[in-house]
Amino acid sequence: MSLYALVKPAIFKIDPETAHGMTIKALKTGMIKSCKPIESDRLKQRIFNEDFINPVGLSAGFDKNAEVIAPILNLGFGFTEVGTVTPKPQAGNPRPRIFRDPKSESVINRMGFPNGGLRVFKSNITSYLADGNRKGGLVGINIGMNKEQPDPAKDYCHLIKELSEQADYLTVNISSPNTPGLRNLQEKEPLTELIKAMKNALHIASPNFPPALLIKLAPDLSEQQQEEIAQTLMENKVDGVILSNTTLDRPESLPEDFRAQKGGLSGVPVREKSTQIIRNFYKLTDGKLPIIGVGGISNAAHAYEKIKAGASLVQLYTGMIYQGPEIANNINKGLLELLDKDGFNHISEAIGADHK
Ligand SMILES: Cc1cc2nc3c(=O)[nH]c(=O)nc-3n(C[C@H](O)[C@H](O)[C@H](O)COP(=O)(O)O)c2cc1C
């Protein structure tokens, strides 16, 4: 039995957000021990002009203020995506705003981007980079707009200018369901305008080696919306797409009081929906747009399912709540076995294998 399996019942008695705060503290103080990472050339890839040591990342929302980059990477993750950060600090929605349903291994959250704002975030990430403790794991930065901002492009461009030098890649979050109006930026016209403005800002901020610019989408998009967005991303030369954020769906199988909570649903119940949208985007872009697959991954088989559907890299958040801090290592170990089983030498051979 893992150590996490022993402490999990006690953790699950605590309010989820309080438990999260305790976890961040435990990571900061070294109470959660590092794991010896799985190392294999078969899992290494060069994507977005960056070297990923393995394809498993921690997705945005866990480390909103970039406080625990090194401890997360020391758990065997190939990359961590910090944020969502907004220019000004904001409190987010009233608590409670995170809810678990252990039976379905899912979570509903309506956080609304609580974070310490750009100043705190930049100071944290700068001291991480300055410490010289970079060991190979990469750091993506997920940016969002403040709730009261009437002109979204202003916040996104400001954050790009301030953070592009610190990012291995930048993710534009236009898919959280908890900031009013945010998901409307996924419509063709506003999306095109926003991308153009951001590319311009990126060019000014980092003219020589700009980090990759990725867009993170919701899984709740119609087929027509998916087609339009895929075309927009390709036409405007966006570097990649993250599929997906949480869903507004509420499967009947979930307990009634849990289903009634407002917010985005994550974990096992979003898994198939997010895999399907990965499959669609891979097809719509002829496999030419790198995809980071996220949603309901709790083991190697789930990660592999998304890779075969078309994801070059994967991320998870809810899976770590239910499976514990060894999840990245366990998935990487399992991926090597799954590659063996299918006769693939390298992870890149499995990407999009379902389509071949
Ligand atoms: C408590 C919580 C907070 C989250 N906060 C963010 C966030 O700030 N920005 C973001 O892009 N996604 C956020 N997400 C979404 C996750 O990054 C991920 O896309 C989604 O949960 C699906 O993956 P999972 O099923 O592995 O959790 C959050 C998810 C959870 C559960």
Q: 184: pLDDT confidence band, cut at 50, 70 and 90?
A: confident
Q: Where do the structural domains in the chain lie, given as residue ranges?
A: 3-355
Q: Which pLDDT does position 132 carry in this prediction?
A: 72
Give yes or no for residue 108 CB within 6 A of ligand 1: no
Half-sphere exposure of residue 253, counting CA atoms within 13 Å on the CB side? 7
Q: Is the pLDDT of residue 188 over 90?
A: no
What's the pLDDT tens digit per position in 322-352?
999 999 999 999 999 999 999 999 999 999 9
- Residue 316 alpha carbon, nearest atom of ligand 1: 26
Helix axes 152-163, 188-205, angle to 10 degrees: 30
The dihedral formed by the CA atoms of 146, 147, 151 and 155, expressed in degrees to the nearest 10 = 10
Which two tokens mark 152? Answer: 């979204």
Q: Looking at the annotation, which residues are catalytic?
A: 176
What's the pLDDT tens digit per position in 101-158?
999 999 999 999 999 999 999 999 999 998 776 777 999 999 999 998 889 999 999 9
Instruction: Answer positive or negative: Cα dihedral of 256, 258, 259, 262.
Output: positive
**Residue 272 and residue 310: Cα distance in Å, rounded?**
14
Q: How far is the CA of 351 from the centre of ligand 1 (A)?
A: 23
Q: Which pLDDT does position 57 carry in this prediction?
A: 98
**Residue 90 and residue 48: Cα distance in Å, rounded?**
31
Closest CA to 159 of 125, 192, 188: 125
Q: Is the pLDDT of residue 255 over 70?
A: yes
What's the pLDDT tens digit per position in 43-102?
999 999 999 999 999 999 999 999 999 999 999 999 999 999 999 999 999 999 999 999
- Residue 242 alpha carbon, nearest atom of ligand 1: 19
Q: Which pLDDT does position 37 carry in this prediction?
A: 84
Give yes or no for residue 61 CB within 6 A of ligand 1: yes
Q: What is the pTM of this model?
A: 0.98
Q: What single string gives the DSSP state of each residue in 237-296? A: T--EEEE---B----TTS-HHHHTS-SEEEEGGGHHHHHHHHHHHHHHTTT-S-EEEESS
Give yes or no for residue 295 CB within 6 A of ligand 1: yes
Closest CA to 317 of 257, 264, 259: 264
Q: Which pLDDT does position 153 carry in this prediction?
A: 93
**Residue 244 and residue 227: Cα distance in Å, rounded?**
16
Which residues on neighbouring strands pair with residue 108, listed in sequence order? 99, 265
Q: Which residue has the higher pLDDT, 5 or 61?
A: 61
Q: Which pLDDT does position 133 carry in this prediction?
A: 65
**Residue 205 and residue 236: Cα distance in Å, rounded?**
18
Q: Is the pLDDT of residue 175 over 90?
A: no
Give yes or no for residue 292 CB within 6 A of ligand 1: no
Superfamily of domain 3-355: Aldolase class I (3.20.20.70)
Q: Which pLDDT does position 33 carry in this prediction?
A: 83
Q: Is the pLDDT of residue 186 over 80?
A: no
- Which protein residue has the closest C-alpha to ligand 1 atom 21? 266
